[in-house]
C-alpha cells in the first residue's frame, strides 16, 4: 500500500479539464492537485460540476479537453475498470449497491483484481486459486470489522439502514486496496450522529495511508476533516487552500453566503 513518494507530492493532478454537455460547461478548464495522504475536499454550490469532475477522474465520462494524472501516469483515456486497477476507488452520490448480494458478497466484489477473472484456475480449483480466495475472504473480514459491518455481513446490503449502506459502499471501495478514495457526498441525508461516526471512519482510513478526495456540502464536516479545500462554481475553480483560508475567502463567501445574505 505504501508508495515511495515524499509525503507532500501530488498523487492526483487534474490539468485544464473541461467537459460540456450541450451548451453547458459542466467543468471548465479546471486544474488542481491532490497531495499524498491529504483529505482534500471539493466544495461548491449545487450544479457546480463536482460529480461530473468525479466521473471525469474515474473515466465514466471522457473529458473534452485536459488530462488527469495519477501517480505520474496519464489515466485520462482509460476505462473505469483500468483506473480502479490503478488504485482509484470511489463511492457514488446515490448509493449503488448490488441488490441481490449480502454485505459480505458485495464487499467481496471489490477484491476482483486480486482473485482475478481467470476461468481455468476457477474450473480446476487450483491451489493458487483457493489461496487467493481465502486470502480475499480474510481481507474482507478485516475490512468489514474495520468499518463496523461484520455483525451484519450476511444481511442483504440493500436492506440495511442508509448509514450502513454507505459503509458497505466504503468497505467495497476499500476492498480494492486503493491509494486514492473518492467520496461523493458521503454524508448527504445523514443525521449528525451518523455524520460524526463516518467522519471518524474517514480519518481512520486516512491514517492507513489512503488519500481521500471528498465532495461535501456540510461546511462543518469539511472544515474539521480536510486539510485542503478546492471550491468550484460553474465548473471553474473559485478558490483553493487550507480550511482556515477558505472560510474567510471573499469569493467563497460571495458564492456561498452572498446570495444567502441577499435573500435575508
Partner 1 sequence: MIQTNKTVYRKFLLILGVIALFFLPLAVTNPYVMYVINLILIYTLLALGLDLIVGYTGQVSVGHGAFFGIGAYVAAILSKNLGFSFWVNLPLSIIVTALIGFIIGFIGLKLIEEYLVMATLAFGTIIWLVFLNWTDLTGGPMGIAGIASPPPIKIGTFEFVFFQYQDYYPLLLLFVFLGILVTRLIIRSGFGRACTAIRDDELAAQSMGIPVFKTKVMMFTISAAFCGAAGALYAHFLRVVSPETFTFSMSVTILTMVMIGGQGSIAGAVIGASILTVSSEVLRETPELRMIIYGFLIVVMIMFFPKGMMGLFQLVKRRLQKRTLQAAETTPEKEGLSYEH
* Interaction site with partner 1 (CB under 8 A): 58, 60, 79-81, 84-85, 89-90, 92, 96-101, 105, 108-113, 115-119, 122-123, 125, 129, 132-133, 136, 172-173, 175-176
Q: Is 234 helix (H, G, I), strand (E, B) or coil?
A: coil
- For the bound state, the minimum distance from the C-beta of residue 108 to partner 1, rounded and expressed in Å, comes to 6
For partner 1, the closer of residues 28 and 51 by Cβ is 51
For partner 1, the closer of residues 93 and 223 by Cβ is 93
Q: Per DSSP, what are the bridge partners of residue 68?
A: 14
- For the bound state, the minimum distance from the C-beta of residue 255 to partner 1, rounded and expressed in Å, comes to 30
Q: In this structure, what C-alpha cell is assigned to residue 111?
A: 477484491
For partner 1, the closer of residues 59 and 235 by Cβ is 59
Q: In this structure, what C-alpha cell is assigned to residue 243?
A: 480550511
Using alpha carbons, select from 232, 240, 213 the residue that is nearest to residue 28: 232
- For the bound state, the minimum distance from the C-beta of residue 59 to partner 1, rounded and expressed in Å, comes to 9
For partner 1, the closer of residues 29 and 113 by Cβ is 113
The beta-strand segments (E) located in the chain are: 10-21, 24-35, 39-43, 65-70, 73-74, 88-90, 180-184, 211-215, 228-233, 236-241
For partner 1, the closer of residues 143 and 228 by Cβ is 143
- For the bound state, the minimum distance from the C-beta of residue 210 to partner 1, rounded and expressed in Å, comes to 16
Q: How far apart are CA 66 and CA 52, in angstroms?
A: 14
- For the bound state, the minimum distance from the C-beta of residue 242 to partner 1, rounded and expressed in Å, comes to 30
Cβ–Cβ < 8 Å for 36, 224? no
Amino acid at each position: 500500500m505504501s508508495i515511495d513518494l515524499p509525503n507532500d507530492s501530488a498523487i492526483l493532478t487534474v490539468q485544464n479539464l473541461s467537459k460540456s454537455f450541450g451548451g453547458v460547461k459542466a467543468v471548465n478548464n479546471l486544474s488542481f492537485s491532490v497531495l499524498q495522504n491529504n483529505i482534500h475536499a471539493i466544495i461548491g454550490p449545487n450544479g457546480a460540476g463536482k460529480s461530473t469532475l468525479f466521473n471525469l477522474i474515474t473515466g465514466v465520462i471522457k473529458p473534452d479537453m485536459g488530462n488527469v494524472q495519477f501517480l505520474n501516469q496519464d489515466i485520462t483515456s482509460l476505462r473505469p475498470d483500468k483506473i480502479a486497477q490503478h488504485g482509484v476507488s470511489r463511492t457514488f452520490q446515490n448509493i449503488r449497491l448490488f441488490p441481490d448480494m449480502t454485505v459480505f458478497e458485495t464487499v467481496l466484489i471489490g477484491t476482483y483484481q486480486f482473485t482475478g477473472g481467470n476461468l481455468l484456475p476457477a474450473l480446476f480449483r487450483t491451489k493458487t486459486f483457493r489461496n487467493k480466495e481465502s486470502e480475499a475472504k480474510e481481507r474482507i473480514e478485516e475490512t468489514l470489522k474495520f468499518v463496523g459491518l461484520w455483525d451484519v455481513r450476511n444481511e442483504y446490503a440493500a436492506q440495511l439502514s442508509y448509514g450502513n449502506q454507505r459503509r458497505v459502499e466504503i468497505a467495497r471501495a476499500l476492498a480494492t486496496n486503493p491509494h486514492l478514495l473518492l467520496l461523493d457526498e458521503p454524508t448527504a441525508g445523514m443525521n449528525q450522529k451518523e455524520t460524526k461516526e463516518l467522519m471518524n471512519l474517514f480519518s481512520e482510513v486516512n491514517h492507513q495511508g489512503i488519500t481521500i478526495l471528498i465532495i461535501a456540502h456540510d461546511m462543518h464536516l469539511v472544515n474539521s476533516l480536510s486539510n485542503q479545500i478546492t471550491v468550484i462554481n460553474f465548473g471553474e475553480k473559485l478558490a483553493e487552500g487550507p480550511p482556515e483560508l477558505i472560510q474567510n475567502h471573499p469569493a467563497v463567501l460571495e458564492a456561498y453566503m452572498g446570495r444567502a445574505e441577499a435573500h435575508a
